[in-house]
Structure 1
Amino acid sequence: MHTKGTIKRIISFLLHGERPPIYAQISYLEPNNRLKGKKIIVTGANRGLGYSMAKKFTEEGADVLITGRNEESLKKSAEQIGCSYIVLDVTHIKFIKPFFEKAYQMLGDITCLVCNAGISLHEKDFFQITEDSFDCQIDTNLKANVFIAQEFMRLKLSQEKAGNILFISSEVGELADNRPYGWTKGALNSFVKGIASNFIEKGIRINAISPGVTCSNMTGLNPNEDLFVQTNKTKRAYLPEEVAEIATFMLSDCSNCLSGQIIVCNNGKTINTRF
């Protein structure tokens, strides 16, 4: 075995020359300072989960910029969080490039992108789906995310700098579903895994969080009221602050080993089991 290993090293040397040594540095981060120096964009952050994440990122030392379609609510949220904002409808692809140019000027750099903007039209069944409802959810949940990520990666590659993209998916992306919302999240998860493998060597990490039913405007669940949810493993809705904690870890340097991962936050509900 020793001889075989020696031969492999000799062949590798002949083919590639002498390889420089590789070292790693472990990151130890202080509480309330885990994102210090990060410049983070969060889409769809004027309320709900996006708002909670942006608030947490700011508390952890990041410089944050949020987006949304409604300027009145977006401005109010930005003032409450203590961050910058730009009005953006993510489905208008032609505005994505100028958006990044403006965001870069405002932040001075962009190190992390959190693609949170999404929509569910809650069709009751397969036959309630219309062409318009289908297109609306595809455009918001999938198409917009693809082109926002594409522009961010163009920026990082042109700078030859590392970057971090975090998509907010859903547990339904792990399940068989009969509605467009679930289809878009399943496709998004596949997209994350596919592009992550292509760009990790360029220093760009790409992951997703897939929460279970969480209190938000989309689900109609209020965190200050009864949190009972029959379909959740714990029989309660998850809080947006819980997901924000995981997102903070995913954007921090402590998660440098993670790329191409779908972090499912539902207490194991979607685990395949024989029991």
Structure 2
Amino acid sequence: MNTFKNKLAIVTGGNSGIGYAAAKELITEGATVIITGRRKEAIEKAAEELGAIPFVADQGKLEDIESLKSKVENQFEKVDILFINAGITGTLGSIENMSSENFDQVMDINFRGAYFTLSKFIPLLNNGASVVFLSSVVASTYKPNSSVYQASKAALNSIAKTAAAELAPRKIRVNMVSPGPTKTNIMTKAGLDKKTLEGLDEWLIDQIPLKKMGTVEDVAKAVLYLSDNNLASFITGTEIIIDGGMAL
């Protein structure tokens, strides 16, 4: 119950879904957790439920990342666990019809924002800290109408592995968790209605050898494992795929 006692963790996009579940697991194990999100009401409500510290920040805005860094540095000085989780799917569409606005929004949050969250926090990371990126199995798939989201996650994996090499001298481990089909509200946010979502879930389950969707808790437990310096001390630059065997 006290694996992460006296440890400070930051979870971006922590007011719902995988971020919320990961923050809950970390708090259960004794960590002090800061969660961030773009909507003040949502992030404060989640923080109250979890026993976390809320901070309103948009990962797509560099000034928000700087503000978060300043708050953490002034109040806590150092960070032990950084879970860069915030991300969006954007709107689906072909390359031919993709808007520059959607491209910029997805890349600003999923790639540029994640990159500079890591960049700005490196000086605050304790030696031996853990960094985990939320990626996706789509980073290595090439399905039609998802080019921007897929590319954003592939780029994320690239920088995670480079960061693992750069930060290894300080014993800072950098890893990725890549969920497959997982029960979250991200597809609702992408604009899909209930009937379409139900049909998509049925189709996906049929493709998964284990014949079920993943849960946010499945992913959160992988984040917890990678954050544990006792269990995962020799793991860095690694991607854990959590997809029920879908990639087989």
Q: TM-score, normalised by structure 1?
A: 0.79
Q: Does structure 1 conserve the Cα–Cα contact (< 8 Å) formed by 2:78 and 2:124?
A: no
Which of residues 44, 48, 55 is equivalent to 1:79?
A: 48
Per-residue CA deviation, residues 120-162 of structure 1 (Å, 9 max, x unaligned), is: 0241433341100011111110000110101111223xx7x33
Q: More deviation in 234-243 or 76-85?
A: 234-243
Instruction: Tell me the equivalent position of 1:212.
Output: 180
Q: Does structure 2 conserve the Cα–Cα contact (< 8 Å) formed by 1:48 and 1:216?
A: yes
Q: TM-score, normalised by structure 2?
A: 0.88
CA distance in 2, matches of 1:149, 1:174: 22
Aligned-pair distance for 1:117? 0.4
CA distance in 2, matches of 1:204, 1:88: 25
Structure 2 residue matching 1:53: 3-state secondary structure: helix
The correspondence of residues 28-107 of structure 1 with structure 2, limited to 5 A, is 32-107=1-76
Instruction: Tell me the equivalent position of 1:264.
Output: 241
The answer for unaligned runs of 5 or more in structure 1 is: 1-31
Per-residue CA deviation, residues 219-267 of structure 1 (Å, 9 max, x unaligned), is: 3499xx9964334332321110111111111111111101101111113
Per-residue CA deviation, residues 37-78 of structure 1 (Å, 9 max, x unaligned), is: 221000011111111111111011110000001000110000
Instruction: Tell me the equivalent position of 2:101.
Output: 132
CA distance in 2, matches of 1:95, 1:150: 14
Q: Displaced runs of 4+ in structure 1, greater than 6 A?
A: none
The correspondence of residues 1-275 of structure 1 with structure 2, limited to 5 A, is 32-107=1-76, 109-156=78-125, 161-178=127-144, 179-220=147-188, 228=202, 229-253=205-229, 254-271=231-248
Aligned-pair distance for 1:94? 2.6
Per-residue CA deviation, residues 167-215 of structure 1 (Å, 9 max, x unaligned), is: 0000101222442001111111111112211211122111010001111
Structure 2 residue matching 1:127: 3-state secondary structure: coil
CA distance in 2, matches of 1:129, 1:235: 33
Q: Does structure 2 conserve the Cα–Cα contact (< 8 Å) formed by 1:212 and 1:232?
A: no
Q: Give the letter aligned to residue 34 of structure 2.
A: L
Q: Does structure 2 conserve the Cα–Cα contact (< 8 Å) formed by 1:177 and 1:183?
A: no
Structure 2 residue matching 1:162: 3-state secondary structure: strand
Percent identity of equivalent pairs: 30
Q: Give the letter aligned to residue 43 of structure 2.
A: L
Q: How many residues align?
A: 235
Q: More deviation in 53-62 or 32-41?
A: 32-41
CA distance in 2, matches of 1:231, 1:211: 15
Aligned-pair distance for 1:34? 2.5
Structure 1 residue matching 2:47: 3-state secondary structure: helix
CA distance in 1, matches of 2:121, 2:64: 13
Q: Which has the larger radius of gyration?
A: 1
Q: Does structure 1 conserve the Cα–Cα contact (< 8 Å) formed by 2:91 and 2:102?
A: no
Q: Give the letter aligned to residue 170 of structure 2.
A: K
CA distance in 2, matches of 1:104, 1:58: 20
Aligned-pair distance for 1:106? 3.7
Q: Give the letter aligned to residue 165 of structure 1.
A: V
Structure 1 residue matching 2:92: 3-state secondary structure: coil
